């Protein structure tokens, strides 16, 4: 049974940093993609960052470019999201995700973890 377990959320002041981790377990084949989504109250879930597990190629949405860094340790089956210069608008539930799709869009993901809360507030 595929399982994604996030950790590392919390509360931080604007301008601060947080690091999220996600352990993937139970996969028969390595997912083609790993990524992070987020969902704030009253909004739709949005993709934030993704990494291709074979090539290491990364992609970020514009609002987090230069502030967030996604990375992958295949030996530990763990994906990370380093978040720096956090803003109040980054406040959301963050979800780890995996996928095998080939469309090069966010619909390539089909499994999500339970989520971890990130709150940015003064």
Summarize the confidence of residues 77-103 as an average pLDDT. Answer: 96
**Long-range Cβ contact pairs of 105-108 (< 8 A, separation 24 or more):** 106/37, 106/46, 106/47, 106/50, 108/32, 108/33
Summarize the confidence of residues 32-37 as an average pLDDT. Answer: 96
The reported pLDDT for the residue numbered 88 is 97
Strands (E), the chain: 3-7, 10-12, 18-25, 33-39, 46-52, 58-60, 68-73, 78-83, 92-99, 109-112, 116-120
pLDDT at 79 over 90: yes
Please provide the average confidence, as pLDDT, over all residues in the chain. Answer: 95
Summarize the confidence of residues 59-78 as an average pLDDT. Answer: 96
Q: Please state the length of the chain.
A: 122
The reported pLDDT for the residue numbered 72 is 96
Summarize the confidence of residues 1-26 as an average pLDDT. Answer: 95
Per DSSP bridges, beta strands 116-120 and 10-12 are: parallel
């Amino acid at each position: 049974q595929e399982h994604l377990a996030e950790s590392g959320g919390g509360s931080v002041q604007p301008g601060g940093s947080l690091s999220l981790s996600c352990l993937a377990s139970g996969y028969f084949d390595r997912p083609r993609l790993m990524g992070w989504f987020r969902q704030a109250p009253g909004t739709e879930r949005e993709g934030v960052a993704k990494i291709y597990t074979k090539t290491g190629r990364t992609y970020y949405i514009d609002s987090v470019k230069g502030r967030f860094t996604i990375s992958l340790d295949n030996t530990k089956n763990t994906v990370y999201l380093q978040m720096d210069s956090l803003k109040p608008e980054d406040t959301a539930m963050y979800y780890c995700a995996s996928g095998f799709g080939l469309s090069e869009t966010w619909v390539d993901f089909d499994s999500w973890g339970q989520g971890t809360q990130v709150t940015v507030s003064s």
